[in-house]
């Protein structure tokens, strides 16, 4: 069974993604200088594909670091508080920090991560997300760079998963309904 057979339709094609990621890279080039030496923080797992493409367009000196987080469970969902499984390798005090996200949905997790990182006193903190679902937003978290605003549909590919699969689709797609139905049984 081929992976692509499960896709109902492509929402954002590989070419559209690549063109927009390049534009975002140029926006970042216009924002940061070599001197700023920004640190890009990737929140795993979803954003690693986006990050891998984004950095190829950056012209200023920069570093990358990773965080992995997990939810504490049902009771804490509304606070956005998450458990940090992998923290940053280095101190970010005085650094220009850019959080790189795959998608912003309710905004709660991002809001918590932002607050957590701000306690470490970075010189600046901005957010760059590939996708945003504004209709789902519950917390008004500032986002500085947005690839695409999309409607409230369940999307996969380019780092975004459904039950840990389909992350590797090179486009943003919507899965066939039977894939969800089968998973619910």
> Could you say which of 7, 21, 51, 92 contacts other proteins (CB under 8 A)?
51
Is residue 60 near other proteins by the rule CB under 8 A?
no
Considering only residues 146-175, where is the footprint of other proteins by CB under 8 A? 159, 164-165, 167-170
> Could you say which of 16, 36, 68, 105 contacts other proteins (CB under 8 A)?
68
Q: Which stretch binds other proteins (CB under 8 A): 60-68, 75-83, 94-102, 116-124?
A: 60-68
Is residue 32 near other proteins by the rule CB under 8 A?
no
> Could you say which of 16, 27, 65, 144 contacts other proteins (CB under 8 A)?
65
Task: Specify the long-range contacts of residues 26-32, CB closer than 8 Å, at least 24 apart.
Answer: 26/57, 27/145, 28/54, 28/57, 28/58, 28/60, 28/98, 28/128, 28/145, 29/57, 29/58, 29/59, 29/60, 31/126, 32/60, 32/62, 32/96, 32/98
Least CB distance to other proteins at residue 139 (A): 25
Least CB distance to other proteins at residue 157 (A): 9
Q: Which stretch binds other proteins (CB under 8 A): 62-70, 115-123, 140-148, 175-183?
A: 62-70
Is residue 35 near other proteins by the rule CB under 8 A?
no
Active site (annotated) includes residue 144: no
Is residue 3 near other proteins by the rule CB under 8 A?
yes
Is residue 53 near other proteins by the rule CB under 8 A?
yes
List residues binding other proteins (CB under 8 A). 1-4, 42, 44-45, 48-49, 51-53, 55-56, 58-59, 61-66, 68, 70, 85-86, 89, 159, 164-165, 167-170
Give the catalytic positions in this structure.
105
């Amino acid at each position: 069974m081929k992976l692509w057979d499960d896709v109902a339709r492509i929402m954002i094609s590989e070419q559209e993604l690549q063109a927009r990621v390049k534009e975002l890279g140029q926006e970042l080039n216009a924002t940061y200088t070599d001197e700023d030496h920004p640190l890009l923080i990737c929140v795993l797992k979803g954003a690693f594909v986006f990050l891998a493409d984004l950095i190829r367009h950056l012209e200023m000196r920069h570093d990358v670091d990773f965080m992995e987080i997990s939810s504490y469970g049902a009771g804490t969902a509304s606070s956005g508080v998450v458990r940090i499984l992998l923290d940053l390798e280095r101190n970010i005090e005085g650094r220009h920090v850019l959080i790189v996200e795959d998608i912003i949905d309710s905004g709660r997790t991002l809001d918590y991560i932002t607050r957590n990182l701000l306690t470490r006193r970075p010189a600046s903190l901005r957010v760059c997300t590939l996708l945003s679902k504004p209709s789902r937003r519950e917390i008004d978290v500032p986002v500085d760079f947005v690839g695409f605003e999309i409607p409230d549909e369940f999307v996969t590919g380019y780092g975004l998963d459904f039950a840990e699969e389909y992350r590797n689709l090179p486009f943003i797609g919507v899965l066939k309904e039977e894939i969800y139905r089968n998973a619910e049984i």
